[in-house]
Amino acid sequence: MRLGVFGTGYAGLVTSVGLAQLGHTVTAIDKDPDIVARLSDGRPTIYEPGLGELLTANLGAGRLRFTTRAEEAMAASDIIFLCVGTPPRADGRAELSQVEEVSCTIAPMLDGYKLIVEKSTVPARTAFWIDWTIRRLALGEREFDVASNPEFLREGSAVRDFLQPDRIVIGADTERARSLLLDLYEPSFDCPFVVTSVTTAELIKHVANTFLATKISFINLVSDLCEGLGVDVATVAKGIGLDPRIGSHFLQAGLGFGGSCLPKDLSALIKQAEDHGVDVGMLREVERINKARMDRLLAKVERALWVLRNKVIGVLGVAFKRDTDDIRGAPSLGVVPRLHGAGAILRIYDPAGARSLKALYPPDDRLGYVDSAYEAARNAHALVILTDWDEFRSLDFDRVRSLMRTPIIVDGRNLFEPAQLQTEGFEYYSLGRGDATLRREPQRVRG
């Protein structure tokens, strides 16, 4: 099929490459000429495992091209996917100006029936406004449908998630739109399909992310109780997660949820529910618990180091999770400025996300970016782990300990067993387990 994709960010690029990989002809449009130039050259603009290879292969096969010119994509496509950003507004609602902009752009370009598909995550009833905008601005041709086909990919495993989805949700209010989307996906996927109305499909996506956020805040609340009782939250999570009614995913206690989706989708759903007179107290708690995670971690850093001024702290990880360079909504955006503001000297390392953080917090005499976890540990009074990168799990602890001034690790991701780290000679603070702080004699300070 001939497909157009507006927006080649995290969701749009994976969608474009994934659809091309399924054998479709894809014209992807981004208004940023640098992004289009890089992608046309086969250079991925984001870090995502497996993406580079598929990008090169599909460019080479002539199934995928990138352009800044919307009219090219409109002429070359029967189905148009909207994958532009829907970031949060200051009041928590979804900012839909990118969606409106694309609607205004494509309206006068309609040249025969087009199916316009929301893949961006949008509040329920956004399709109504897209339809209304296009109808108002279309010059002659008004034959189109607006459908919803929310994207459930997870950054870090986005390519796999796109190519092996656990379900496909199709929201369509006309038979024509429904059949087109079924024709697009059914030959490639044997996962369950949920075929429903446009508004229901829009709501499914927001509710899915809100539920995931709720699960995380729930286990983090339990985690605080576990800490009080001297119980390991991971064992509690395992014990409840084996019940299929609960499920084991999204029960990792730690620094909470971040990224560009869960926080904004939760707050957008809260706002929409409030507009409809729904009592959203429970969801407000989910937000509040999540925001408090960072304070809890910082309190642990302070408990471990007492005075922060002039303490050297190695920060391991700034991406909101492993296997991505995305720092949107990441705990690092709160932790780094607060430690810096408290007078600590920061040495920051992330395998993929440091460049984005550097753009926000350029190096200065108390903030530096280094090339490895070991460099972050050099002369540090403590290491603070903010992202669950696999490479942090396999650190050479002897080497880390010998590099540090005081062997203290504050782990916001619960990567290690407290007893193991204690045996390795570290003072270890994590979330939802007992801290491994028992020492027979005061720690000797080196340097």
Ligand X SMILES: NC(=O)c1ccc[n+]([C@@H]2O[C@H](COP(=O)([O-])OP(=O)(O)OC[C@H]3O[C@@H](n4cnc5c(N)ncnc54)[C@H](O)[C@@H]3O)[C@@H](O)[C@H]2O)c1
- 29 or 382: CB nearest ligand X: 29
Q: Is the CB of residue 209 less than 8 Å from the CB of residue 191?
A: no
Q: Angle 19-22-24 (CA atoms, 0-180°, nearest 5)?
A: 65
User: Which two tokens mark 112?
Assistant: 């025969």
d(CA 225, CA 273): 30
Comparison of 11 and 315: residue with beta carbon closer to ligand X: 11
x-or-dash string of contact with ligand X, 100-139, rule CB under 6 A: -xx-----------------xx------------------
Question: H or E element: which one contains 128?
Answer: helix 126-137
Separation between Cα atoms, residue 440 and residue 380, nearest integer Å? 22
Measured in residues, the chain has a length of 447
Q: Which of 151, 202, 232, 427 binds ligand X (CB under 6 A)?
A: 151
Q: Site for ligand X (CB under 6 A): which residue of 26, 51, 79, 84?
A: 84
Q: Return the residue of 3, 4, 5, 11 that touches ligand X, per CB under 6 A.
A: 11
- Candidates 22, 29, 184, 346; binder of ligand X (CB under 6 A) is 29
In eight-state DSSP terms, residue 109 is G
Is residue 170 a contact partner of residue 176, using CB atoms and an 8 Å limit?
no
Using CA atoms, how far apart are residues 249 and 303, in angstroms rounded to an integer? Answer: 31
Q: Torsion over CA of 217, 218, 223 and 229, rounded to 10 degrees?
A: 150
Contacts (Cβ under 8 Å, ≥6 apart) of 187 = none
Residue of the chain from 58, 86, 214, 356 that contacts ligand X (CB under 6 A): 86
Which residue in 4, 18, 85, 123 binds ligand X (CB under 6 A)?
85
Site for ligand X in 54-83 (CB under 6 A): 83
261 versus 298: smaller Cβ distance to ligand X: 261
Q: What is the distance between the alpha carbons of residues 412 and 410, in angstroms, rounded to a whole number? A: 6
211-270 residues near ligand X, rule: CB under 6 A: 260-261
Nearer to ligand X, 91 or 364 (CB): 91
> Minimum distance between the CB of residue 193 and ligand X, rounded to whole angstroms?
18
Q: Which of 77, 98, 103, 220 binds ligand X (CB under 6 A)?
A: 98
Does position 8 interact with ligand X (CB under 6 A)? The reply is: yes
C-alpha to C-alpha distances, 350 to 124, 281, 320, nearest whole angstrom: 36, 36, 11
Q: Least CB distance from residue 181 to ligand X, whole Å?
A: 17
Q: In one letter, which amino acid is 27?
A: T
How many residues of this chain interact with ligand X, rule: CB under 6 A? 26
Is residue 7 close enough to count as binding ligand X by CB under 6 A? yes
Candidates 84-92, 135-143, 279-287, 404-412: pick the segment binding ligand X (CB under 6 A): 84-92
Query: Which residue is catalytic, options 83, 191, 226, 261?
Result: 261
Stretch that binds ligand X, among 150-158, 218-226, 295-303, 344-352 (CB under 6 A): 150-158
Tell me how far apart the alpha carbons of residues 8 and 140 are, in angstroms, rounded to a whole number: 29
The phi and psi torsions of 408 (rounded to 5 degrees) equal: -120, 130
Rounded to whole angstroms, the Cα distance separating 380 from 410 reads 12
Coil, strand or helix: which one is 414? coil
Catalytic annotation on 261?
yes
The residue range among 151-159, 225-233, 368-376, 385-393 that interacts with ligand X, by the rule CB under 6 A, is 151-159
Nearer to ligand X, 30 or 323 (CB): 30
Token pair of 61 as six digits = 């096969």
Quick one: which segment of 16-24, 94-102, 179-187, 401-409 binds ligand X (CB under 6 A)? 94-102
- Which range in 29-37, 73-81, 408-416, 423-431 contacts ligand X by CB under 6 A? 29-37
In the complex with ligand X, the residue whose CB is nearer, 77 or 406, is 77
d(CA 194, CA 15): 19
Shortest Å, Cβ 151 to ligand X: 4
Contacts of 2 (CB under 8 A, 6+ apart): 24, 25, 27, 76, 77, 78, 79
What is the binding site for ligand X (CB under 6 A)? 6-12, 29-32, 35, 83-86, 98, 101-102, 120-121, 151, 153, 155, 260-261
Q: Which residues are catalytic?
A: 261
